Amino acid sequence: MDNQKLLETVADFAYILGKAGYFSGDSRADIQEIIYWAKNFEEKNKNTNWNKTDYILEIERYSTNKLIELRSLNIFK
């Protein structure tokens, strides 16, 4: 896995979640969750042609789904 790409994905998720006001109350757990999401996203999309698929739309879609999951678990309201 390309470290630069992974770091960009972590930064994108952190930005989106911060903008959404996400904070579980445990910043270390939140950071670990974002890293996990980024690794999962990169693995899931390792064969995606980003010249044909909009990266930002996919990042936003993935993070929106994760926020919905967190809300359903009452981790984030």
Reading the block at residue 2, the tokens are 């390309």
Q: Considering its fold, how many domains does the chain have in total?
A: 1
Does 25 reside within a domain?
yes
| Amino acid 69: pLDDT | 87
Q: Tell me: the pLDDT tens digits for 24-51?
A: 889 999 999 999 999 999 999 999 999 9
Please report whether residue 57 resides in a domain.
yes
pLDDT, average across residues 18-22: 90
**pLDDT tens digits for 5-15?**
999 999 999 99
In a domain, 77, yes or no: no
Q: Print the domain residue range for 26.
A: 3-72
17 lies in some domain: yes
Task: Using pLDDT thresholds of 50, 70 and 90, give the confidence band for residue 2.
Answer: confident
In a domain, 48, yes or no: yes
Residue whose structure tokens are 């899931």: 44
Give the up-direction half-sphere exposure of residue 31: CA atoms within 13 A in the CB hemisphere.
4
* Residue 63 neighbours by CB under 8 Å, 6+ apart: 13, 16, 17, 20, 37
